[in-house]
Amino acid sequence: MKAFSYSFTFYCLLGLILLATTDGLAQVESSDSLLSPLLPPSEVIAEDHPGDAGAAIIVRWKLSPDEDRGVTGYEIVRSTSPTGEFSSIGFAAAGSNRYVDANTEDSLTYYYKVLAIDVDKNVSESELSPPARSSPQWFNFHLLNLLIIGGLICGAVIYFIAHAKKGKKLFLRKIAGLEAVDEAIGRATEMGRPILFIPGILDMDDVQTIAAITILGRVAKTIAQYDTKLNVPTSRSIVMSTAMETVKEAYISAGRADAYSDDFVHYVTDEQFGYVAAVNGIMVRERPATCFYIGAFFAESLIMAETGNAIGAIQIAGTAMPAQLPFFVAACDYTLIGEELFAASAYLSGEPKQLGSLKGQDVGKIIAMSAIVIGALLETFFAISGSSFFGSLAELVHKLFSIVAS
Amino acid sequence: MRKDLVWLFAGILFFGLLYLLNWGVKAISTDLLVWIGAFLTLAILSFLYQDNAFYKFAEHLFVGVSAAYWMCMGFWNTLVPNLIAKLHPPIVKGVLPAIAEKPPEYWYIIPAALGIMFLMRLSPKAPWISRWALAFIVGTTTGLNLVRYLRSDFLGQIKSTLIPVIVVENGSLSVGGSFSNIVIVVGVLCGLIYFFFSKEHKGLFGVASRVGIYILMITFGASFGYTVMARISLLVGRMRFLLGDWMGLLQ
């Protein structure tokens, strides 16, 4: 028992000594690391940002060797003279080794330094970068693949337009919602009620609004022939102007210029829900027989479609807004889904330009489908076999459809 | 008596009773603006019953105020900083001092001219001039959007779909991963086929097209539920305003 007691005391003492020693060593190491100066980033390079319109320089550097020792980030400073005063232009997070200075003047030469900063606010300054000057480029090679693919699709569009202009027939499949347009206008005529056309709530810079105005032209032409009243409330002034021009032209081409009135198209307000409140009011007071919701919509889609449903109107909707399509599908009689909206304007007008454009877009879809099939097969072969041959081919297809960030 | 008036009296009676019975209405707001907000909220919500005088009042007030607001916003946020300040910076010294120091940029005369051409629509003699400005807007925005959509919707979508349909993880087949990837690849391909207009949707092409529309409808269903939840949160927000900020029934 005594022997056990001695040995127990001995080992306890030994353990305490060891603990104290290792703790002390750790403290010595820790204090050593705190005392050693923070090492700066190195190999700072500044060069013109490629493929841009000038006014930008990229600064790159090699991370501080003390990156793992509490570096919180890097401050980038610049000067127009190597001996001049350097001023801060921005910060990069820890681990970043590049910064784009997008506020330069092309006529000036700049010098950069990168400062590593740690948790204790210690700062360590790099060497000076070589001089750099920003300049504009005519061509952005990072977007070469975009040019090739865009060129292919645009080329196909031009080819099919020329084809259609020669009088050759271009086949387009039927679009269900469009068959109902004439029927809906005819119903409004029979009932002696107006037709409401909502061209979305975005401006003319949205492609859906452009498609909506094209469809409005075709709808207005039929309305002019049927001598029915049209009401187009808009939420953008430019859309109002464009819609007015389109409706006027439609009435003239239908030989009913006398029946046209500027009151058909009117501005309400830019405010989304103010516009909805007004449209709902118009619906319940004028009780249109047919409502068209064609264009870009947001939260107002269901409110309007439900009101139209409540007044018993035939409703035809068309939008490419994915979040609003479910509401139109649920509340309207016919819905043009996504690209059907753009196809509709071509289908209805029958113009060579629009038909050719649609056929050209189908070429784009063939390119997309082929690329997906080939790319997915190559990726699958690579995943199964691990062959570098399939791997490099798959990477090539990836690169072709990637936009490289410069 | 009109139905809406009956509902109005019923509402006044209800709130009067609440007040008289002191059901927590002690904390009802004394802020006039909250009362105006509550009245306008109820006026707009009254449309759920039917069109009425209160809704008409709120609707016209909303449209009028918002139209004026956006006109002012358009002037101060677009016309002043993007045109007036560019052509003659000192004129905006009082409102935009940072821009006022910059040299004038006279090429902004071109957009100014386009703007004036646009206003020619008001001229009874030469409204056709406005078409040139309109053509410029439509043409440039179409060109800009072509590149944007080609980049994000076309290239981006294709790149995201370049995935293996058989996923191998740690040397063994991943059933879940493979199923997910097959759904993505087949879904995108069938969706593209549905939106292919140059061929009649018959035979195998028709089957793929139908699969495409089924996938779209399933997506719409999920999206519908998600958005309805978001709308309910908006309703909850309004109810909190009415019952909390206005009536003081919520703590």
Mutation to test the A interface, candidates B114, B121, B220, most A Cβ within 10 Å: B220
CB proximity list for B69: less than 8 A, separation 6 or greater: A271
pLDDT at residue A65 greater than cutoff 60: yes
pLDDT beyond 50 at A16: no
A189 touches A384 (CB < 8 A): no
What pLDDT, on the 0 to 100 scale, is given for residue A138?
92
- B213 and B182 in one domain? yes
Assess whether pLDDT exceeds 90 at residue A25. no
Cβ–Cβ < 8 Å for B13, B62: no
Q: B137 and A204 in contact by Cβ < 8 A?
A: yes
Contact of A110 with A80, CB cutoff 8 Å: yes
- Is A308 in contact with A280 (CB distance < 8 Å)? no
Answer whether residue B94 is part of any domain.
Answer: no
Alpha-carbon gap, residue A152 to A146, rounded angstroms? 10
Q: Do A379 and B164 touch (CB under 8 A)?
A: yes
Q: Is pLDDT of A197 > 90?
A: yes
What would the pLDDT profile of A289-336 be if each residue is shown by its tens digit? Answer: 999 999 999 999 999 999 999 999 999 999 999 889 999 999 999 999
Contacts of B79 in chain A (CB under 8 A): none
| Confidence at residue A91, expressed as pLDDT on a 0 to 100 scale | 94
Q: What CATH number is given for A170-350 in this structure?
A: 3.40.50
Separation in Å, CA A399 to CA A237, A290, A368, B159: 43, 49, 14, 9
At a CB cut-off of 8 Å and minimum separation 6, what does A213 contact? Answer: A199, A204, A239, A242, A243, A246
Three-state SS letters, chain A: CHHHHHHHHHHHHHHHHHHHHHHHHHHHHHHHHHHCCCCCCEEEEEEECCCCECCCEEEEEECCCCCCCCEEEEEEEEECCCCCCCEEEEEEECCCCEEEECCCCCCCCEEEEEEEEECCCCEEECCCCCCECCCECCCCHHHHHHHHHHHHHHHHHHHHHHHHHCCCCCCCCCCHHHHHHHHHHHHHHHHCCCEEEECCCCCCCCHHHHHHHHHHHHHHHHHHHHCCCEEEEECCHHHHHHHHHHHHHHHHHCCCHHHCCHHHEEECCCCHHHHHHHHHHHHHHHCCCEEEEECCCCCHHHHHHHHHHHCCCEEEEEECCCCCHHHHHHHCCEEEECHHHHHHHHHHHCCHHHHHHHHHHHHHHHHHHHHHHHHHHHHHHHHHHCCHHHHHHHHHHHHHCCCCCC
Query: A327 touching B, CB under 8 A?
Result: yes
**Which residues of B fall within a CB distance of 8 Å from A375?**
158, 161-162
Q: Which of the residue ranges A15-19, A166-170, B9-13 would you say has the lowest mean pLDDT? A: A15-19
Query: In this model, does residue A216 exceed pLDDT 50?
Result: yes
Ranges A36-50, A182-196, B114-128: which has the least confidence: B114-128
A144 at the B interface (CB within 8 A)? no
Nearest to B145 among A207, A277, A401 (CB): A207
Lowest mean pLDDT among A32-46, A203-217, B162-176: A32-46
Same domain for B158 and B182, yes or no, is no
Contact list, A172 vs chain B (CB under 8 Å): 197-198
CB–CB of B81/B99 below 8 Å?
Answer: yes
Phi and psi angles of residue A76, each rounded to the nearest 5 degrees, phi first: -105, 125
HSE (side-chain half, CA atoms, 13 Å) at A67: 13
pLDDT band at A7 (very low <50, low <70, confident <90, very high): low
What are the residue ranges spanned by the domains of chain A? 42-125, 170-350
Q: How many CB atoms lie within 10 A of CB B108?
A: 16
Judged by a CB distance cut-off of 8 A, whether residue A255 touches chain B is: no
Cβ pair B195:A372 closer than 8 A: no
What is the percent of chain A where pLDDT is above 70?
91
pLDDT in tens, A134-172: 999 999 888 888 899 999 999 999 999 999 889 888 888
Interface test with B, best of A175, A269, A404 (most B CBs within 10 A): A269
Same domain, B170 and B242: yes
What pLDDT is attached to residue B182? 96
Each residue's pLDDT tens digit, B158-183: 999 999 999 998 888 999 999 999 99
Neighbours of A10 (CB within 10 A): 10
Mean pLDDT, chain B, whole residue set:
87
Clarify whether residues B241 and B186 are in a common domain.
yes
Model pLDDT, residue B4: 66
**A343 contacts A319 by C-beta, under 8 angstroms:** no
Q: Does A329 lie at the interface with B, CB-CB under 8 angstroms?
A: yes
Q: A–B: how many Cβ contacts below 8 A?
A: 178
What average pLDDT does this structure show over B147-154? 86
Question: Are B76 and B92 contacting, i.e. CB atoms less than 8 angstroms apart?
Answer: no
pLDDT at position B14 over 80: no
Please indicate if any CB of chain B lies within 8 Å of the CB of A404.
no
Tokens of B171: 């040397």
Contacts of A150 in chain B (CB under 8 A): 146-147, 150
**pLDDT computed for residue B117 by the predictor:** 93
- Segment B6-27 shows an average pLDDT of 65
Task: Label residue A31 by pLDDT band (50, 70, 90).
Answer: very low
Shortest distance between the Cα of B81 and any Cα of chain A, in A, equals 20
What's the alpha-carbon Rg for chain B, to the nearest Å?
29
B26/A48: higher pLDDT: A48
Task: Give the pLDDT mean for B15-19.
Answer: 64
Q: Of B140, B162, B182, B188, which to mutate for an interface test with A (greatest number of A Cβ within 10 Å)?
A: B162
Would you say A305 and A331 are in contact if contact means Cβ atoms under 8 Å apart?
A: yes
Q: Are A347 and A356 in contact (CB under 8 A)?
A: no
Q: Do A204 and B138 touch (CB under 8 A)?
A: yes
- DSSP at B95: T
Q: Do the Cβ atoms of A372 and B55 come within 8 Å?
A: no
Q: Could you give the CA distance from residue A301 to residue A323 in angstroms, rounded to a whole number?
A: 10
Residue type, A297: F
Query: Rounded to whole angstroms, how far apart are CA atoms B62 and A283?
Result: 17
Fold of A42-125: Immunoglobulin-like (2.60.40)
pLDDT at A373 > cutoff 80: yes
pLDDT tens digits, B190-247: 999 999 999 999 999 999 999 999 999 999 999 998 888 888 888 999 999 988 888 8
**For residues A180 and A381, what is the distance between their CA atoms, to the nearest angstrom?**
47
Lowest-confidence pick of A15-19, A160-164, A331-335, B67-71: A15-19
Q: How far apart are CA B194 and CA B212, in angstroms?
A: 6
Whole-number Å distance between alpha carbons of B201 and B190:
12
* pLDDT for position A24: 45
State the CB neighbour count (10 A cutoff) for residue A351: 15
Any B CB within 8 A of A268 CB: yes
A402 to chain B, any CB pair closer than 8 A? The answer is yes
**Domain extent for B136:** 105-162
Cβ atoms of A222 and A185 closer than 8 Å: yes
Examine the pLDDT at A363 and tell me if it is beyond 60.
yes
What contacts 24+ positions apart, CB below 8 Å, involve B165-168?
B165/A376, B165/A379, B165/A380, B166/A380, B166/A383, B166/A384, B167/A383, B168/A383, B168/A384
Q: B241 and B212, same structural domain?
A: yes
* Amino acid A17: pLDDT: 46
What integer pLDDT is reported at residue B22 of this predicted model?
A: 56
Whether pLDDT at A33 is above 50: no
Q: What is the pLDDT of residues B72-86, one digit of tens each?
A: 999 999 899 999 999
Q: Is residue B20 in a domain?
A: no
B63 closest CB neighbour out of A274, A343, A371: A274
Chain A residues closer than 8 Å to B50 by CB? 284
| Tally of structural domains, chain B | 2
CB nearest to A172's CB, from B70, B134, B197: B197
Residue A277 pLDDT exceeds 90: yes
| Structure confidence by residue, pLDDT tens digits, B109-146 | 999 999 999 888 888 888 889 889 888 988 888 888 88
Per-residue pLDDT band at B189 (split at 50, 70, 90)? very high
Same domain, B231 and B194: yes
Q: Are A357 and A156 in contact (CB under 8 A)?
A: no
Q: Which residues contact B47 (CB under 8 A, 6 or more apart)?
A: A280, B55
* Rounded CA separation A282/B41 (Å): 20
Contact: B63, A153; criterion CB under 8 Å: no
